[in-house]
């Protein structure tokens, strides 16, 4: 009887070992083939540090896209975003690196299509009424002109990268209320700028959803850290001028990157 127990026990051990050996191994997550597209908010303008080979596109090692690539398993990273880009520039210049092998695409685009820089300039230099008028014109362009431009751009991205997850990152509200050291930059002006950012977000989110893309809303992540806050993650008027009203190093690392991580892992 004692020998029988030994035989049964040995057989069970052999069976268990065979089960372990036969069990399939879990595959490691595949490395991403990642392409980052868009304008200055994607290239990292505002971080004040740019790669020498990016020229006027001002691509930064501190931009959210580069930070994401540095912190994930990535087999290929095509950093195509460029300062000043509009949707037509994305379509003409930024899609060549996309293919059926691309697994992730991020894009921030649309602000320049509605005249972002001129709106900010009018609000800084003009009175409250002039700022209101400038923002209203930008909102009109966002509602009436931008949707078709985004639809074309998103369709081209999908055609070029049919298997990719596409994440559209929105723009933050730029300013905070209260005391501010910028002359004549009233609460009324700041509120209208933020109103315009909300309209832009609504339009971009709607067209991203229509394209089947993931929209990543950045507004809550930047809340309390806009221009005129005590802890700014967005530059106010700056020298050089191009840095103005763009997220700084903290804006990319503490706001945009967590927003992107939340939808990609």
Enzyme catalytic residues: 40, 246
Q: How many CB atoms lie within 10 A of CB 249?
A: 17
**Alpha helices, DSSP H, located in 23-145:** 40-43, 64-70, 87-93, 116-125, 128-144
Q: Helices 187-211 and 128-144 sit at what angle, rounded to 10 degrees?
A: 10
Residue reference for tokens 């950045």 = 218
Nearest in space to 236 (alpha carbons), one of 119, 118, 120: 120
Q: Which two tokens stand for residue 170?
A: 């929105």
Cα distance between residue 148 and residue 132, in whole Å: 25
Kindly report the backbone phi and psi dihedral angles of residue 122, in degrees, each rounded to the nearest multiple of 5, phi listed first: -65, -35
């Amino acid at each position: 009887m004692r020998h029988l127990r030994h035989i049964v026990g040995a057989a069970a051990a052999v069976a268990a070992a065979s089960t372990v050996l036969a069990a399939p191994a879990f595959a490691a997550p595949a490395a991403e083939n990642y392409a980052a597209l868009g304008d200055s908010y994607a290239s990292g303008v505002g971080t004040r540090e740019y790669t020498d080979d990016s020229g006027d596109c001002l691509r930064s090692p501190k931009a959210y896209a580069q930070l994401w690539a540095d912190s994930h398993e990535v087999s290929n990273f095509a950093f195509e975003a460029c300062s000043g880009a509009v949707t037509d520039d994305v379509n003409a210049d930024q899609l060549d690196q996309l293919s059926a092998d691309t697994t992730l695409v991020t894009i921030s685009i649309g602000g320049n299509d509605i005249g972002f820089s001129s709106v900010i300039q009018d609000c800084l230099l003009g009175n409250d009424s002039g700022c209101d008028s400038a923002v209203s014109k930008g909102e009109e362009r966002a509602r009436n002109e931008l949707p078709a431009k985004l639809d074309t751009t998103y369709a081209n991205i999908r055609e070029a990268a049919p298997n990719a997850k596409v994440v559209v990152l929105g723009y933050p509200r730029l300013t905070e209320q209260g005391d501010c050291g910028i002359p004549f930059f009233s609460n009324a002006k700041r509120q209208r700028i933020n109103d315009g950012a909300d309209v832009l977000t609504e339009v971009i989110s709607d067209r991203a959803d229509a394209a089947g893309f993931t929209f990543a809303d950045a507004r809550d992540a930047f809340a309390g850290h806009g221009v005129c806050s005590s802890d700014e993650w967005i530059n106010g008027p700056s020298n050089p001028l191009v840095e103005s009203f763009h997220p700084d190093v903290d804006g990319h690392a503490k706001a945009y990157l967590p927003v992107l991580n939340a939808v990609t892992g």
